[in-house]
Chains A and B, each alone.
Chain A
Amino acid sequence: MTELKKWYELPVGCMNTEPGSSLRNLTGGWRTFRPVVDKSRCTKCHLCWVFCPEGAVELEEDGFVKVNYSYCKGCGICANECYPKAITMKR
């Protein structure tokens, strides 16, 4: 639990000077279902990477995808859009 900042510790002018600091907020805790990728079916089309609202589907070096479960909210868009059905939502 981070300590709350005092008024003089805040940046001047109602702004946030830490770009991307939302990464501190692990939204993976929102999930009920989690997407599981079956590499044998994946065609590396990368649509799941485009469609993930969280950016929790990451591209790997070899072109396959990996789900970042720290942030995945379990919405299921990736599984729904995966044409070869390489992604399934499991409890």
Chain B
Amino acid sequence: MESSAFKSIKDLPKVEYFSAGHRLCQGCPEGIIAKLVTKVLGPNVIVVSPTGCLEVSTSVYPETAWKVPWIHVAFENAAAVASGVEAGIKALRRKGIKFVDEKIHVVVLAGDGGTADIGLQALSGALERGHDFVYICMDNEAYMNTGIQRSGTTPFKAWTTTTPVGAKWRGKLQPKKDMAAIAVAHRIPYVAVASISHPLDFANKVKKAAEIEGSAYIHVSAPCPTGWRFDPSKTVEVARLGVLTGMWVLYEVEMGKFRVTVTVPRRRPVKDYLRMQGRFSHLTDEEVAEVQRYVDEEVERINKVVGYEAIGPVAK
């Protein structure tokens, strides 16, 4: 497995399977993700997307940005449609009717709403049945397509249009739903957390996930300039700070074995990440400290699981 991993950016395939001219916002991370995923897996890939930013921005008739087969059905059923695509290919191949000597990757490119909330049932069913597909959740931490409403993966205290900041509320009242942990609980062969700021790590996880027989789940950070309130040029930088502050730990769980893939010897304080984003601009120093404590606890837990200090202390 390691020998076929990409060793540098230069190793990435050059052919593009995702066209320019789509209607995603300036600086949209989903454009980066769609490009990278289809580049790594294309052309023998079938992409399934639920309703969301990526879907509406890339498929407005008569234009389509997709140069690989792509299907959209509805909001909550991407995993179910992908299950059917995978089963259909399996059956037709076995009966010698179609796809006989080809390996076709089935990939879901879904947002967090269509994964953690309305799409959770279909995802859970598909993972339990172990369909051979790669489910990639592009987590921009809200229902961005409909105008920035909170979802299950919106982080604690973030502003959204349905968790506004006012006299009674200070952003989202609940912590972020841990989708990767839910995927791990289904005992599938491969779960990973990735970030666009570390494209090689992400590309290798996509490749590994596709090569593994069975279900694979990748949760990738997708900072949204429009919804998180930062300048579009900072998208990758915000993602990187998420990793460097320990708020977004890059790991993989392969056959149940937990491994941190990008270690962070000296962590940046969370305020470096939070202060970059307008959606956290209302946080007091106390609230920032609360977030810092939460991250410290998570980091300690992860370090215990892997048995060494994969994520280091906050640099003074």
Find out whether A and B make contact in their complex, taking CB atoms under 8 A apart as touching. Answer: yes
Residue contact B27 to A76, C-beta cutoff 8 Å: yes
> Would you call B24 an interface residue if the criterion is a C-beta within 8 Å of the partner chain's C-beta atoms?
yes
Would A53 and B21 count as touching, CB distance under 8 A?
A: no
Does the CB pair A68–B20 fall under 8 Å?
A: yes
* Cross-chain contact B23 with A25 (CB below 8 angstroms): yes
Q: What's the least CB distance linking B35 to chain A, in Å?
A: 6
**Given A54-B20, A77-B235, do A21 and B36 touch, yes or no (CB 8 Å)?**
no
Chain B, interface size category, equals 35 or more
**Contact A30 B233, CB 8 Å, known A20-B64, A21-B62:** no
Indicate which residue in A24, A55, A75, A81 contacts B232 across the interface (CB closer than 8 Å).
Answer: A75
Q: Which of B18, B27, B62, B64 contacts A77 (CB 8 A)?
A: B27
Write out the residue numbers on chain A whose beta carbons fall within 8 Å of the beta carbon of B234. Answer: 77, 80
Q: Cβ of B61: which chain A residues have Cβ within 8 Å of it?
A: 16
Contact with A along B2-26 (1 / 0, CB 8 A): 0000000110101010111111101
B233: which of A16, A21, A59, A89 is its contact (CB, 8 Å)? A89
Chain A, interface size: which category?
35 or more
A23 and B62 in contact, given A77-B232, A79-B233 (Cβ under 8 angstroms): no
* Interface presence of B231 (CB below 8 A): yes
B-side contacts of A26, CB under 8 Å: 21
Partner of A51, one of B59, B68, B199, B231: B199
Residues on B facing A (Cβ under 8 Å): 9-10, 12, 14, 16, 18-24, 26-32, 35-36, 58-59, 61-68, 196, 199, 225, 231-237
Seed contacts A46-B9, A76-B233; 17 additional CB < 8 Å A-B pairs: A16-B63, A19-B19, A19-B64, A20-B19, A20-B67, A22-B64, A24-B63, A27-B21, A45-B9, A54-B20, A54-B31, A56-B20, A59-B14, A75-B26, A75-B235, A77-B27, A81-B236
